[in-house]
Structure 1
Amino acid sequence: MNQTSESQVLLVTENSRLDIEFELSVFDGPLIEKTAEGEVFSFQIGDGQLLPQLENLLIGLEVDTTAKFTLVPEQAFGRSDPNNFQVMPKSDFPADMPLSLGHVIGFDTPTGDEVPGTIIAVNGDEVTINFNHPLADKVIVFSATIKAIYQD
Protein backbone atom coordinates (compact mmCIF):
# COMPACT_ATOMS: atom_id res chain seq x y z
CA MET A 1 0.00 0.00 0.00
CA ASN A 2 1.45 3.37 -1.00
CA GLN A 3 1.38 6.23 1.44
CA THR A 4 0.14 9.49 0.10
CA SER A 5 2.16 12.57 0.97
CA GLU A 6 1.22 13.83 4.37
CA SER A 7 -0.13 17.32 4.57
CA GLN A 8 2.57 19.64 5.80
CA VAL A 9 1.81 21.85 8.79
CA LEU A 10 2.69 25.46 8.06
CA LEU A 11 4.52 27.21 10.86
CA VAL A 12 5.29 30.90 11.24
CA THR A 13 8.89 31.55 10.15
CA GLU A 14 11.13 34.61 9.89
CA ASN A 15 9.87 35.02 6.28
CA SER A 16 6.13 34.55 6.81
CA ARG A 17 3.33 36.85 5.85
CA LEU A 18 0.53 36.50 8.40
CA ASP A 19 -3.07 37.29 9.14
CA ILE A 20 -3.64 37.45 12.89
CA GLU A 21 -6.26 38.55 15.35
CA PHE A 22 -4.59 40.18 18.33
CA GLU A 23 -5.09 42.07 21.55
CA LEU A 24 -2.49 44.19 23.34
CA SER A 25 -3.13 45.44 26.87
CA VAL A 26 -1.38 46.62 29.98
CA PHE A 27 -1.24 43.88 32.63
CA ASP A 28 -4.15 44.56 35.02
CA GLY A 29 -4.80 47.70 33.01
CA PRO A 30 -6.48 49.08 29.94
CA LEU A 31 -6.72 47.57 26.48
CA ILE A 32 -4.26 49.33 24.18
CA GLU A 33 -5.19 47.93 20.79
CA LYS A 34 -7.00 45.00 19.23
CA THR A 35 -8.24 43.86 15.87
CA ALA A 36 -11.86 44.68 15.16
CA GLU A 37 -14.42 41.88 15.33
CA GLY A 38 -14.14 39.76 12.18
CA GLU A 39 -11.03 41.63 10.98
CA VAL A 40 -7.41 40.49 10.78
CA PHE A 41 -4.10 42.31 10.96
CA SER A 42 -1.97 41.41 7.91
CA PHE A 43 1.78 41.89 7.94
CA GLN A 44 5.12 40.45 6.91
CA ILE A 45 7.50 39.37 9.68
CA GLY A 46 10.19 42.06 9.79
CA ASP A 47 8.24 44.80 7.97
CA GLY A 48 8.13 47.04 11.05
CA GLN A 49 4.36 47.02 11.57
CA LEU A 50 4.70 44.98 14.76
CA LEU A 51 7.42 45.19 17.39
CA PRO A 52 10.19 42.69 16.60
CA GLN A 53 9.80 41.34 20.16
CA LEU A 54 6.15 40.49 19.44
CA GLU A 55 6.94 39.02 16.02
CA ASN A 56 9.52 36.70 17.57
CA LEU A 57 6.86 35.29 19.91
CA LEU A 58 4.80 34.19 16.89
CA ILE A 59 7.60 32.23 15.18
CA GLY A 60 6.94 28.51 15.39
CA LEU A 61 3.17 28.81 15.83
CA GLU A 62 0.72 27.21 13.39
CA VAL A 63 -2.62 28.27 11.92
CA ASP A 64 -5.50 28.47 14.43
CA THR A 65 -3.09 28.59 17.37
CA THR A 66 -3.91 31.17 20.01
CA ALA A 67 -1.06 32.23 22.26
CA LYS A 68 -0.96 34.68 25.15
CA PHE A 69 2.27 36.24 26.37
CA THR A 70 3.08 38.48 29.32
CA LEU A 71 6.10 40.69 28.69
CA VAL A 72 8.05 42.62 31.29
CA PRO A 73 9.09 46.15 30.25
CA GLU A 74 12.52 45.01 29.02
CA GLN A 75 10.81 42.59 26.61
CA ALA A 76 8.26 45.13 25.39
CA PHE A 77 8.66 48.92 25.33
CA GLY A 78 11.60 49.24 27.69
CA ARG A 79 12.25 51.25 30.83
CA SER A 80 12.01 55.02 31.01
CA ASP A 81 15.23 56.85 30.25
CA PRO A 82 15.69 59.93 32.47
CA ASN A 83 17.43 61.64 29.53
CA ASN A 84 14.13 61.52 27.60
CA PHE A 85 12.49 64.17 29.80
CA GLN A 86 12.78 67.74 28.56
CA VAL A 87 11.69 71.06 29.99
CA MET A 88 10.53 73.49 27.32
CA PRO A 89 9.26 77.08 27.48
CA LYS A 90 5.52 77.51 26.99
CA SER A 91 6.34 79.97 24.21
CA ASP A 92 7.54 77.01 22.08
CA PHE A 93 3.94 75.81 21.79
CA PRO A 94 1.07 77.35 19.79
CA ALA A 95 -1.01 79.68 21.95
CA ASP A 96 -4.19 77.70 21.24
CA MET A 97 -2.68 74.30 22.11
CA PRO A 98 -4.03 72.77 25.33
CA LEU A 99 -1.08 72.17 27.65
CA SER A 100 -2.78 69.71 29.98
CA LEU A 101 -1.23 66.79 31.85
CA GLY A 102 -1.25 63.60 29.82
CA HIS A 103 -1.72 65.40 26.49
CA VAL A 104 0.39 63.69 23.78
CA ILE A 105 1.99 65.93 21.17
CA GLY A 106 3.81 64.93 17.99
CA PHE A 107 7.24 66.58 17.68
CA ASP A 108 9.22 66.63 14.42
CA THR A 109 12.80 65.42 14.63
CA PRO A 110 15.64 66.87 12.51
CA THR A 111 15.37 63.79 10.26
CA GLY A 112 11.67 64.48 9.57
CA ASP A 113 10.30 61.70 11.76
CA GLU A 114 7.60 62.38 14.32
CA VAL A 115 8.15 61.47 17.97
CA PRO A 116 5.34 61.53 20.54
CA GLY A 117 5.89 63.44 23.76
CA THR A 118 3.58 63.42 26.77
CA ILE A 119 3.08 66.48 28.96
CA ILE A 120 3.87 65.46 32.53
CA ALA A 121 4.10 68.89 34.20
CA VAL A 122 3.18 72.52 33.55
CA ASN A 123 4.89 74.93 35.95
CA GLY A 124 4.65 78.65 35.27
CA ASP A 125 6.26 79.28 31.89
CA GLU A 126 7.70 75.77 31.59
CA VAL A 127 6.30 72.52 30.23
CA THR A 128 7.95 69.16 31.02
CA ILE A 129 7.69 66.61 28.23
CA ASN A 130 8.30 62.86 28.56
CA PHE A 131 9.68 61.50 25.27
CA ASN A 132 9.81 57.90 26.51
CA HIS A 133 7.39 55.51 24.83
CA PRO A 134 3.97 55.85 26.53
CA LEU A 135 4.13 52.14 27.41
CA ALA A 136 7.65 52.27 28.89
CA ASP A 137 7.82 50.65 32.34
CA LYS A 138 4.58 48.72 31.71
CA VAL A 139 4.04 44.96 31.81
CA ILE A 140 2.27 44.12 28.54
CA VAL A 141 -0.06 41.24 27.67
CA PHE A 142 -0.06 40.21 24.00
CA SER A 143 -2.56 37.66 22.75
CA ALA A 144 -2.64 36.51 19.12
CA THR A 145 -4.49 33.95 17.01
CA ILE A 146 -2.80 32.91 13.78
CA LYS A 147 -5.52 33.03 11.10
CA ALA A 148 -3.37 32.47 7.99
CA ILE A 149 0.28 31.92 7.10
CA TYR A 150 1.62 32.69 3.64
CA GLN A 151 5.06 31.46 2.59
CA ASP A 152 6.68 33.13 -0.39
Structure 2
Amino acid sequence: MQIEKNAVVAIDYTLRDTEGEVLDASPEGQPLQYLHGAGNIIPGLENALEGKTAGEDVDVSIPPEEAYGERDDRLQQDVPKSMFEGVDNVEAGMRFQAQTQSGTQVVTVAAVSGDNVTVDANHPLAGQTLNFKVKVSDVREASAEELEHGHVHDGDSDGEAAE
Protein backbone atom coordinates (compact mmCIF):
# COMPACT_ATOMS: atom_id res chain seq x y z
CA MET A 1 0.00 0.00 0.00
CA GLN A 2 1.25 3.48 -0.84
CA ILE A 3 1.30 6.32 1.65
CA GLU A 4 -1.72 8.49 0.93
CA LYS A 5 -4.30 10.53 2.81
CA ASN A 6 -5.88 8.55 5.68
CA ALA A 7 -3.21 5.82 5.72
CA VAL A 8 -1.59 4.90 9.02
CA VAL A 9 2.16 5.12 8.52
CA ALA A 10 4.95 3.79 10.72
CA ILE A 11 8.42 5.31 10.25
CA ASP A 12 11.82 4.94 11.84
CA TYR A 13 13.60 8.28 11.57
CA THR A 14 16.62 10.28 12.55
CA LEU A 15 16.45 14.07 12.49
CA ARG A 16 19.68 16.08 12.12
CA ASP A 17 20.40 19.78 11.88
CA THR A 18 22.54 21.28 9.09
CA GLU A 19 25.72 20.55 11.07
CA GLY A 20 24.80 16.86 11.29
CA GLU A 21 23.91 16.87 15.00
CA VAL A 22 21.13 14.44 15.90
CA LEU A 23 18.15 16.42 17.20
CA ASP A 24 15.67 13.56 17.53
CA ALA A 25 15.17 9.94 16.53
CA SER A 26 12.54 7.28 16.92
CA PRO A 27 13.50 4.78 19.63
CA GLU A 28 14.91 1.56 18.18
CA GLY A 29 12.10 -0.90 17.52
CA GLN A 30 9.45 1.75 18.21
CA PRO A 31 8.59 3.49 14.94
CA LEU A 32 6.59 6.70 15.01
CA GLN A 33 3.05 6.06 13.80
CA TYR A 34 0.86 8.81 12.42
CA LEU A 35 -2.26 9.33 10.32
CA HIS A 36 -1.14 10.68 6.96
CA GLY A 37 -2.91 13.85 5.86
CA ALA A 38 -4.17 14.75 9.34
CA GLY A 39 -1.46 17.33 10.08
CA ASN A 40 0.22 15.13 12.70
CA ILE A 41 3.75 15.70 11.34
CA ILE A 42 5.41 18.69 9.69
CA PRO A 43 4.18 19.39 6.14
CA GLY A 44 7.55 18.95 4.43
CA LEU A 45 8.05 15.45 5.83
CA GLU A 46 4.48 14.46 5.07
CA ASN A 47 4.88 15.65 1.45
CA ALA A 48 8.18 13.75 1.08
CA LEU A 49 6.55 10.51 2.26
CA GLU A 50 3.50 10.76 -0.03
CA GLY A 51 3.41 7.78 -2.44
CA LYS A 52 6.13 5.78 -0.65
CA THR A 53 5.63 2.15 0.44
CA ALA A 54 6.81 -0.03 3.32
CA GLY A 55 10.54 -0.75 3.07
CA GLU A 56 11.44 2.48 1.29
CA ASP A 57 14.15 4.82 2.56
CA VAL A 58 13.69 8.58 2.30
CA ASP A 59 16.37 11.20 2.87
CA VAL A 60 14.94 14.70 2.78
CA SER A 61 16.05 18.21 3.70
CA ILE A 62 13.12 20.36 4.81
CA PRO A 63 13.38 24.17 4.81
CA PRO A 64 11.91 26.15 7.74
CA GLU A 65 8.81 27.23 5.81
CA GLU A 66 7.80 23.55 5.43
CA ALA A 67 8.74 22.69 9.02
CA TYR A 68 8.30 25.01 12.02
CA GLY A 69 8.49 28.31 10.14
CA GLU A 70 11.00 31.12 10.33
CA ARG A 71 11.92 32.61 13.69
CA ASP A 72 9.72 35.56 14.61
CA ASP A 73 11.34 38.09 16.94
CA ARG A 74 7.88 39.36 17.88
CA LEU A 75 7.42 36.10 19.78
CA GLN A 76 10.07 37.14 22.31
CA GLN A 77 9.19 39.34 25.22
CA ASP A 78 10.50 40.44 28.58
CA VAL A 79 8.38 39.58 31.61
CA PRO A 80 8.95 40.14 35.32
CA LYS A 81 10.57 37.25 37.17
CA SER A 82 7.64 37.42 39.62
CA MET A 83 5.49 35.73 36.92
CA PHE A 84 7.37 32.49 37.66
CA GLU A 85 5.77 32.03 41.06
CA GLY A 86 6.94 28.89 42.82
CA VAL A 87 10.08 28.51 40.70
CA ASP A 88 13.16 29.13 42.82
CA ASN A 89 15.75 29.48 40.08
CA VAL A 90 14.61 30.56 36.59
CA GLU A 91 17.34 29.73 34.05
CA ALA A 92 17.81 30.01 30.29
CA GLY A 93 16.57 26.91 28.48
CA MET A 94 13.72 26.18 30.89
CA ARG A 95 10.33 25.67 29.25
CA PHE A 96 6.96 26.72 30.65
CA GLN A 97 3.35 26.76 29.60
CA ALA A 98 1.87 30.23 29.38
CA GLN A 99 -1.77 31.23 29.06
CA THR A 100 -2.23 33.65 26.15
CA GLN A 101 -5.18 35.11 24.27
CA SER A 102 -4.69 32.26 21.78
CA GLY A 103 -4.71 29.59 24.51
CA THR A 104 -1.89 27.65 26.13
CA GLN A 105 1.52 28.19 24.55
CA VAL A 106 4.92 26.73 25.41
CA VAL A 107 7.63 29.34 25.96
CA THR A 108 11.35 28.90 26.48
CA VAL A 109 13.39 31.11 28.80
CA ALA A 110 15.91 32.79 26.51
CA ALA A 111 17.67 34.95 29.10
CA VAL A 112 17.48 36.11 32.70
CA SER A 113 18.73 39.55 33.71
CA GLY A 114 18.04 40.70 37.24
CA ASP A 115 14.28 40.74 37.75
CA ASN A 116 13.55 40.44 33.99
CA VAL A 117 13.10 37.21 32.08
CA THR A 118 13.12 37.04 28.27
CA VAL A 119 10.78 34.33 27.03
CA ASP A 120 10.58 33.02 23.48
CA ALA A 121 7.41 31.44 22.05
CA ASN A 122 9.06 30.33 18.79
CA HIS A 123 9.23 26.56 18.35
CA PRO A 124 12.78 25.45 19.32
CA LEU A 125 13.34 24.28 15.71
CA ALA A 126 11.92 27.42 14.06
CA GLY A 127 14.25 28.86 11.43
CA GLN A 128 16.15 25.59 10.98
CA THR A 129 16.49 23.36 7.95
CA LEU A 130 15.72 19.84 9.12
CA ASN A 131 17.37 16.76 7.64
CA PHE A 132 15.43 13.52 7.98
CA LYS A 133 16.62 10.00 7.28
CA VAL A 134 13.46 7.86 7.25
CA LYS A 135 12.69 4.16 6.78
CA VAL A 136 9.02 3.44 6.10
CA SER A 137 8.33 0.35 8.18
CA ASP A 138 4.59 -0.08 7.63
CA VAL A 139 1.61 1.43 5.81
CA ARG A 140 -1.96 0.33 6.47
CA GLU A 141 -5.52 1.57 6.15
CA ALA A 142 -6.80 3.58 9.09
CA SER A 143 -9.75 2.33 11.11
CA ALA A 144 -13.00 4.31 11.19
CA GLU A 145 -12.21 5.36 14.77
CA GLU A 146 -8.73 6.59 13.81
CA LEU A 147 -10.20 8.61 10.95
CA GLU A 148 -12.86 10.08 13.22
CA HIS A 149 -10.33 11.09 15.88
CA GLY A 150 -7.56 12.13 13.48
CA HIS A 151 -4.78 10.02 15.02
CA VAL A 152 -3.52 6.45 15.46
CA HIS A 153 -5.16 4.42 18.24
CA ASP A 154 -3.10 1.28 18.64
CA GLY A 155 -0.96 2.65 21.48
CA ASP A 156 2.41 1.90 19.90
CA SER A 157 3.31 5.58 19.59
CA ASP A 158 2.52 8.76 21.43
CA GLY A 159 2.53 10.73 18.17
CA GLU A 160 4.66 13.50 19.67
CA ALA A 161 7.89 13.14 17.73
CA ALA A 162 8.51 14.92 14.40
CA GLU A 163 5.44 17.05 14.66
Instruction: Verify same fold: TM over 0.5.
Output: yes
Question: How does the TM-score come out when normalised to structure 1?
Answer: 0.82
Looking at CA atoms only, which structure, 1 or 2, has the larger radius of gyration? 1
How much identity, in percent, do the aligned residues show?
28
Q: Comparing 62-71 with 23-32, which one deviates more in the overlay?
A: 23-32
Task: Give 1:47 deviation, angstroms.
Answer: 3.3
Point out the more displaced range, 15-24 or 41-50.
41-50
User: 1:87 offset after TM fit, Å?
Assistant: 0.8
Find 1:121's aligned residue among 99, 111, 114. Answer: 111
Q: 1:39 to 1:45 in 2, by over 3 A?
A: same
- TM-score normalised by structure 2 residue count: 0.77
Q: Residues 105-128 of structure 1, C-alpha deviation per residue, up to 9 Å, x if partnerless?
A: 222334653x22111121221111
Alpha-carbon distance in structure 2 between the residues aligned to 1:46 and 1:107: 29
Unaligned runs of 5+ in 1: 1-9
Contact 1:46 1:52 in 2 (8 A): no
Unaligned runs of 5+ in 2: 143-163
Instruction: Select which of 138, 142, 150 maps to 2:132.
Output: 142
1:13 to 4, 8, 11: 4
Amino acid in the other structure paired with 1:117 = V
Tell me the distance in 1 between the aligned counterparts of 2:58 and 2:129. 17
Letter in 1 for 2:65: E
Paired residues for 1:49-128 under 5 Å: 49-110=40-101, 112-113=103-104, 115-128=105-118
Q: Give the Cα separation in 2 of the matches to 1:135 and 1:14.
A: 26
Deviation at 1:140, TM superposition (A): 0.8
Corresponding position of 1:41: 32
- Correspondence for 2:21 among 21, 30, 46: 30
Preserved CA contact (<8 Å) 1:12 1:149 = yes
Farther-moved stretch of structure 1 (139-148 vs 48-57): 48-57
For residue 48 of structure 1, report the CA deviation from its aligned partner. Answer: 3.7
Q: Secondary structure at the match of 1:54?
A: helix
Instruction: Tell me how many residue pairs correspond in the alignment.
Output: 142
